[in-house]
C-alpha cells in the first residue's frame, strides 16, 4: 500500500462495506472474474493510490500515464471501465473519449479532473453513459460511481 497519501490510505482501509463493488460481489459469489478497470492518470502518485484502492476492493486495475497509452491498452484488451484524468499529455481524457465514441465504443467512462466542463452539453452527451467526478474526489465517491456504471453480469444479461 503506498504511503504517499496517508489520508487516502486511511480511507482505503476504513471504506464502508455497506455497498460493496460489483467485483467483490462477483468474486464472492463465484459468478464472474473480477472486473478490469483501466486508469489513465499522468500523476504517478494519484495513479498508484487509485490502483491500490481498486485492488483492495477486488478489482483488477491497470494504470497508464496518458490517454494515448490508454487508447493502446483499450485496443489490445477488454476493460469493463476506463477511468481517465481530463487533462493529460499526448492525449487528453476528452481526446480518449472522442476516439472511443468515434469507434462506436459505448463503454462507460469516468472522467476525473479539477477543471471539468460541467456546463458543456456536447461533452455530457459524449460522456454518456459515463460519469464526471471533480478532483479531489473521495474514494467513496469513486466507488459509488463505479458501482453505478458496472452492472453485475447476471443483471446485464437479464435486462
Taking the C-alpha atoms of residue 37 and residue 146, their distance in angstroms, rounded to an integer, is 10
Number of H helices, E strands in the chain: 8, 5
- When pLDDT is averaged across residues 112-139 and rounded to a whole number, the result is 80
pLDDT tens digits, residue range 40-62? 999 999 999 999 999 999 999 99
Higher pLDDT, 77 or 157: 77
Phi, psi of 132 (to 5 degrees): -100, 135
pLDDT tens digits, residue range 126-135? 788 888 898 8
Do the beta carbons of residue 52 and residue 11 sit within 8 Å? no
Per-residue model confidence (pLDDT) at position 141: 94
Q: CA of 138: how far to CAs of 7, 54, 99, 141, in Å?
A: 10, 13, 28, 5
Q: Has domain 35-151 been given CATH number 3.30.9.10?
A: no
Q: pLDDT band at 145, cuts 50/70/90?
A: very high
Per-residue model confidence (pLDDT) at position 57: 94
Taking the C-alpha atoms of residue 8 and residue 27, their distance in angstroms, rounded to an integer, is 24
Range name among 17-26, 56-65, 83-92, 95-104 with the lowest pLDDT average: 17-26
Q: Is residue 29 over pLDDT 60? A: no
Q: pLDDT band at 122, cuts 50/70/90?
A: confident
Domain ranges of the chain: 35-151
| Strand ranges for 24-87 from DSSP E | 36-40, 60-64, 81-85
Amino acid at each position: 500500500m503506498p504511503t504517499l497519501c496517508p489520508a487516502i490510505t486511511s480511507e482505503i482501509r476504513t471504506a464502508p462495506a455497506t455497498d460493496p463493488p460489483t467485483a467483490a460481489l462477483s468474486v464472492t459469489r463465484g459468478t464472474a472474474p473480477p472486473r478490469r478497470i483501466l486508469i489513465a492518470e499522468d500523476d504517478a502518485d494519484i495513479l498508484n493510490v487509485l490502483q491500490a484502492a481498486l485492488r483492495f476492493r477486488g478489482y483488477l486495475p491497470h494504470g497508464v500515464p496518458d490517454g494515448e497509452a490508454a487508447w493502446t491498452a483499450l485496443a489490445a484488451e477488454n476493460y469493463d471501465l476506463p477511468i481517465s484524468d481530463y487533462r493529460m499529455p499526448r492525449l487528453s481524457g476528452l481526446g480518449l473519449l472522442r476516439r472511443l465514441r468515434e469507434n462506436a465504443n459505448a463503454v462507460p467512462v469516468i472522467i476525473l479532473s479539477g477543471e471539468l466542463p460541467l456546463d458543456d452539453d456536447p461533452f455530457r452527451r459524449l460522456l454518456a453513459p459515463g460519469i464526471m467526478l471533480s478532483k479531489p474526489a473521495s474514494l467513496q465517491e469513486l466507488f459509488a460511481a463505479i458501482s453505478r456504471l458496472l452492472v453485475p453480469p447476471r443483471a446485464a444479461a437479464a435486462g
